[in-house]
Amino acid sequence: MQGFLSSLFPNVLSKLPDFYESINDTLIMVGWSGSISFILGLVLGIVLTVTKKGGILQNQALFQILDKIINFFRSIPFIILLASLIPLTRLISGTAIGVDGAIVPLVFGTVPFFSRQIESALAELDSGLIEAAQSMGSGPLEIIFRVYLKECIPGIARGTTITAISLIGLTAMAGAVGAGGLGDFAIRFGYQRNQIDVTYASVIVLVGMVSIIQIVGNTIVKKNSH
């Protein structure tokens, strides 16, 4: 087996410590930025849903402000967002390079996308359920937690899965500007040194991560669909 792997990935085996570190860096970036983005995106998605016209907490001024801010950040290509957020990243993280320097722009790049996913998931809810909850005297917070979030778990899970997969792609892109991770490993060794087996190995690991996330997401959706 060792000889077979050596024939397929000779350059990867000679850089195993770097390869393992790049996988760990990618997992850290996805874990931290994904967790922060999930919380912020979920809150923003809920606020957009309840403050829109006809929402349970209708507030057109707040809705329009959030809507425009989210559209603004979604319209900026991630590679440009990385560069433009360098001063803010240094202020928050103390550095603009490496894994720590990638988390802030990853959050800014992911939250607007995820908040729209949440908004779309909550929009699928039958308005009759909300009206029924209101007729029974449920307040806004009760409706949010007991109706919106409880009934929309499949849609939220689908949106989370799509966002997590997109986030993995963003971490690979962040590697182009020295953020570390598999993207950086593939560019430094696979592209710049023309070691094609390094590129293939990085792609295989990324595909594996995406597949695991998709399987978990599909399982959650299936268990909560009714």
Query: Which tokens in the block code for residue 50?
Result: 């309840």
Rounded Cα–Cα distance for residues 14 and 34 (Å) = 31
Identify the pLDDT of residue 86. Answer: 85
Rounded Cα–Cα distance for residues 159 and 42 (Å) = 10
Mean pLDDT by runs of 10 across the 226 residues of the chain is 68 86 93 95 95 90 95 90 87 83 91 95 89 87 91 94 94 78 86 85 92 95 84
* Residue 199 lies in domain: 2-224
Rounded Cα–Cα distance for residues 22 and 208 (Å) = 15
In CATH, what number is assigned to the domain containing residue 43? 1.10.3720.10
Query: Which tokens in the block code for residue 141?
Result: 């917070």
- Domain total for the chain? 1
Q: Write the DSSP string, 31-79.
A: HHHHHHHHHHHHHHHHHHHHHSTTSTT--HHHHHHHHHHHHHHHTS-HH
Identify the pLDDT of residue 188. Answer: 85
Identify the pLDDT of residue 3. Answer: 66
Place of tokens 């959706």: 221
Contact indicator for 198, 18 with CB cutoff of 8 Å: no
Identify the pLDDT of residue 118. Answer: 96
Query: Which tokens in the block code for residue 51?
Result: 């403050």
Identify the pLDDT of residue 67. Answer: 94
Identify the pLDDT of residue 165. Answer: 94
Q: Write the DSSP string, 4-16.
A: HHHHH-HHHHTTH
Contact indicator for 183, 176 with CB cutoff of 8 Å: yes
